[in-house]
Amino acid sequence: MIFPAIEAEKIKHVLIINVTRIGDTLLATPAIRAIAIHFPNADITCLGHPQRYTVLQNLPYLAKVGAISKKTAWMRGWKDVSTEHEFDIAFVWGQDTALVKYALRKARKVVAERQQDIALNAKLALAFDLPLPNSIHAVARFLSMIEVCGIHSQCYQLDYVVTSAERQAATNKLRAALGGVNFPTIGFQVASFATKAWRDWPINRFIELGLQIVQAHPNARFVCFGAPGDKARINELAGALRGRVVNFAGQTPLRESAAIMSQLDLYVGVDTGPSHLFSTLKKPMVVLYHPIIPSALYKPLNHPALFAIDHPLASPTCRDKVPMNDISVATVWKAVARALEGEKSLLPGLPSPGIDKGVAAWPGDALSMR
């Protein structure tokens, strides 16, 4: 199903559904932006996870953003069944049948991932088989579905907008928390998910890194992000760095966290949702990647100041939950030092399948380790 320019201009209302985690919500923004550009006269509505859709607010190419879930989708859209459809076309990522059925009630045509229900697939304008998770870069994976509709993108940067009011509130909050003039102010993301601790860089490594930063920059301060369950690790860090750590983990909503991030000089963390959020700000960042989910598949693309540090075992064949302590403090400190001096990154990350020409797809994994 291709939409040439002359037909695309006639589309007036487009629905996009992508109910995912923070990182995958942001990783879909290049595809969402491409859809908006392809349908220049359309109002674009995007629905996402109830706790994460707010990261899409204020994007200039979206007329409306809102929340939906597979639990609530079955109750919605029924009046459209007996009246004219609200949307000309809908795009749905994911394997939640309830979301696809909702889209079919709301839109005249629906493009979606192929579902396990054969009868449901027959109702779609296009049922698309996405590449396996962890086989190509996540941005390319989101783009793959719309590309078969003739919608393409050459810009792979993730999008997020911090409002001026949010920025000012964050400035005031940091000033109250830190006091005085501090340079540098560095964000730390010390953990990924509680259920995937094998992805974490040991907290003693973060402590050692923090001490090296303080030795070089005595006025350095550290702002920690993450989940409430990261408190014990952050307390250990705070004890070692003696009054230089502010903990916002689990204490600020997504948009407030992003606004605080916009005030930082540098971000250092493991690859997880907050890291993708910070990448939208185009500021210096050092990100540590586990070999199962390396920079080749999840690094920020077209980023002006990314220092990507991959585990030594990163490769298409790695499937082991190896510990992250094989990434040395010396390696991370070298990247941090260059970033703080404003020097160009020498660590752009591994070539990305699906993005970089001549790079073969990785084997992938039907049961994604992400």
Q: 226-271 pLDDT, tens per residue?
A: 999 999 999 999 999 998 999 999 999 999 999 999 999 999 999 9
Distance CA 285, CA 323 (A): 22
Token look-up 């109250």 returns 176
Q: What is the 3-state secondary structure (H, E, C) of the chain?
A: CCCCHHHHCCCCEEEEEECCCHHHHHHCHHHHHHHHHHCCCCEEEEEECCCCHHHHCCCCCCCEEEECCHHHHCCCCCHHHHCCCCEEEEEEECCCHHHHHHHHHHEEEEEEECCCCHHHHHCCCEEECCCCCCCCCHHHHHHHHHHCCCCCCCCCCCCCCCCHHHHHHHHHHHHHHHCCCCCCEEEEECCCCHHHHHHCCCHHHHHHHHHHHHHHCCCCEEEEECCHHHHHHHHHHHHHHCCCEEECCCCCCHHHHHHHHCCCCEEEEECCHHHHHHHCCCCCEEEEECCCCCHHHHCCCCCCCEEEEECCCCCCCCCCCCCHHHCCHHHHHHHHHHHHCCCCCCCCCCCCCCCCCCCCCCCCCCCCCC
Q: Per residue in 138-181, pLDDT tens?
A: 999 999 999 999 999 989 999 999 999 999 999 999 999 988 76
Q: What is the pLDDT of residue 114?
A: 95
Contact present, 287 and 311 (Cβ < 8 Å)? no
What pTM does this model have? Answer: 0.94
pLDDT band at 196 (very low <50, low <70, confident <90, very high): confident
For 281, residues 6+ apart whose C-beta sits below 8 A from its C-beta are 160, 162, 258, 261, 262
Token pair for residue 336?
Answer: 């941090």
Q: How many beta carbons lie within 10 A of that of residue 194, not counting itself?
A: 11
**pLDDT value at 222 more than 50:** yes
Q: What is the pLDDT of residue 182?
A: 73
Q: What is the pLDDT of residue 370?
A: 55
For 65: left if phi > 0, alpha if psi spans -120 to 50, otherwise beta; the answer is beta
**pLDDT value at 4 more than 70:** no
| CA dist list (Å): 15 to 112, 121, 181 | 12, 18, 46
Domains of the chain plus CATH, in order, are 5-147 (3.40.50.2000), 164-340 (3.40.50.2000)
Of residues 366 and 188, the one with the higher pLDDT is 188
Distance CA 250, CA 315 (A): 33
pLDDT band at 367 (very low <50, low <70, confident <90, very high): very low
CA nearest 198: which of 257, 249, 272? 272
Q: What is the pLDDT of residue 1?
A: 61
Q: What is the pLDDT of residue 368?
A: 57
Q: How many beta carbons lie within 10 A of that of residue 83, not counting itself?
A: 7
